[in-house]
Amino acid sequence: MRFFRMTVSYDGTCYSGWQVQPGECTIQRALEEALTRITGRSIRVVASGRTDAGVHAVGQVVSFCAETRLPPETLQKAINANTPDDIFVREVATAPIGFHAIRDAVSKHYRYLIQDGPHRDLFSRAYAWFIPRPLDVDQMQAAARVMIGRHDFRSFEAAGAPRRSSVRTIYRLDVGRIELNCTQPIAVDVEADGFLYNMVRNIVGSLVLVGRGDYDAAWVSQVLSGMDRKLAGPTAPACGLTLMEVRYDVDAGAGEGGGD
């Protein structure tokens, strides 16, 4: 039995998220079906995190075990030949015995794109949240700074989905404009040791309230210390969210990171 680690991009628009669910088209199912066709055996794959319906990935990391002698490059080509156009396996590599994409993750980087007004950019409609008025990026960045570091992020966790601990460490939370062909959407880049359910989308929903001028940066500090989901902003739509990169210890397989 060999352990593998693969890096996968996908356009989540047409999928009911990562996780296999009866009767639903999911990324996990597409990858498992491809591996079954290739190896002739039933294979279970594990992702660093279960992205929701409509969420995209540039660098999702997936682990699996397989009894195959195929070299990783051949496996990569075979999976790509057996998955739809909106999934692309960027790399397959052998991994240390016991490697597990969730358990061994040390940090994850998500990017959220906001396309602010006045005109909707058609070409980013599946990848960005359109807000029909210009947002104040400086204010959003000021509010973001408040959240960097180790905090209890309970106020930004989806209701009804409690974890044992809602303390997480945000290493980086940048808000700035990027170049996207002819448009300049706002990118919210967040890297943390782990995320609560809907945490990025709830943070973005709150930052947008600040960007619109409804609240100032100090409000975010109150939301954080209030530890109540009702204090934060709305959940930003799934389509704007992309999992960019997952980091592992150099000797992953022995790690015990707290990612989810």
Residues binding a copy of itself (CB under 8 A): 9-11, 56, 58, 85-88, 90, 113, 119-123, 125, 127, 178-182, 244
Identify which of residues 87 and 143 has a Cβ nearer to a copy of itself in the complex. 87
From the list 52, 121, 136, 174, the catalytic residue is: 52
Identify which of residues 139 and 242 has a Cβ nearer to a copy of itself in the complex. 242
Token pair listed for 78: 């075979």
Identify which of residues 142 and 180 has a Cβ nearer to a copy of itself in the complex. 180
The verdict on whether 251 is a catalytic residue reads no
Q: Tell me how far, at minimum, the Cβ of 44 lies from a copy of itself, in Å.
A: 24
Q: Tell me how far, at minimum, the Cβ of 73 lies from a copy of itself, in Å.
A: 12
Identify which of residues 58 and 231 has a Cβ nearer to a copy of itself in the complex. 58
Q: Tell me how far, at minimum, the Cβ of 24 lies from a copy of itself, in Å.
A: 20
Q: Tell me how far, at minimum, the Cβ of 193 lies from a copy of itself, in Å.
A: 22
Q: What positions carry a catalytic annotation?
A: 52
